[in-house]
Structure 1
Amino acid sequence: MRARVEDDAQGRRQVYEACFEPCAIEKGMRIIGGKWTGSILWHLKDGPVRFNDLARMVGGASKKMITERLRQLETQGLVRREVMDTAPVSVHYEITEFGRSALGFLDELRKWSEGLPQEIHADG
């Protein structure tokens, strides 16, 4: 955070704290704020999950989108991918310890969201 000084509409000096990159909130949102990211992490909390099972758990997301998110999460170190030596080949995904560190506030977000008034809709 840095301070920025500007004159307001009445000509008074105002000091604003500006969030310049990397702002901690913005950085966190870039990591877990992508569509389906929180849901994927949440569904991996209880143990390894096969790709097709995960795709069923994350309703509304295409397999292509889930694949993209899983690759991103793997690159960021939040998820681990394991190819099982079976016939046919099976792929499991598992949350890492780093990924688990997000579960606390994802659970708080879940609780907060469940408590929202019915007239508040997530789609706008």
Structure 2
Amino acid sequence: MRAHVEQDEAGRRQARDACFEPCAIERGMRIIGGKWTGSILWHLKDGPVRFNDLARMIGGASKKMITERLRHLEAQGLISREVLETSPVSVQYEVTDLGRTALDCLDALRAWSESLPDRPAVPSR
């Protein structure tokens, strides 16, 4: 259900019949909008990557955070996890067909970001 926006007597915009379910943008952001999630998907786009290699690619993220994001992406069906019978045992991750559908969005975000004028990055809250 879409929210209908009206103006009150003072000219303030107010939502009527507000949505109780997340809109499409909010739903998508819940899936791929988490910190490091887009970066992880992007680094997996060219093929399977072992966990430690992925952790090196994503500077600034702790291994705990990467593990949490990987579990989230796997639960959403965007990546697959494979345990390799090596010594020591290793794990690699790969983007699924469903996950590949999100790469177009991330590529558009990358292109948009690169088109912005250079400004100092604003820290997220």
Looking at structure 1, the residues matched to 22 and 112 of structure 2 have their Cα atoms a distance apart, in angstroms, of 26
Alignment CA distance shift 1:98-1:5 (3 Å): same
Deviations 1:86-113 (A, max 9, x none): 1110100001011100001100100111
Is the partner of 1:83 in helix, strand or coil? strand
Structure 2 residues without counterparts, runs of 5 or longer = none
8 Å CA contact 1:79–1:93 kept in 2: the answer is yes
Please give the alpha-carbon distance, in whole angstroms, between the structure 2 residues aligned to 1:109 and 1:15: 29
Give the gaps of 5 or more residues in structure 1: none
- Tell me, in whole angstroms, the C-alpha distance in 2 between the residues paired with 1:58 and 1:20: 36
Deviation of 1:60 after TM superposition, in Å, equals 0.7
Q: How far apart, in 1, do the equivalents of 2:21 and 2:52 lie?
A: 37
Distance 1:110 1:70 in 2: 21
Given the two structures, how large is their TM-score scaled by the length of structure 1?
A: 0.88
Q: RMSD across aligned C-alpha pairs, in angstroms?
A: 2.3
Question: Percent identity between the aligned chains?
Answer: 69
> Does the residue aligned with 1:77 lie in a helix, a strand or coil?
coil
Letter in 1 for 2:40: I
Using the TM superposition, give the Cα deviation of residue 6 of structure 1 relative to its aligned residue in structure 2, in angstroms.
5.0
Counterpart CA distance in 1 for 2:29 and 2:15 is 26
Is residue 38 from structure 1 mapped to residue 38 from structure 2 by the alignment?
yes
Q: d(CA) in 2 for partners of 1:10 and 1:42? A: 44
Q: Distance in 1 between matches of 2:45 and 2:57?
A: 12
TM-score normalised by length of structure 2: 0.87
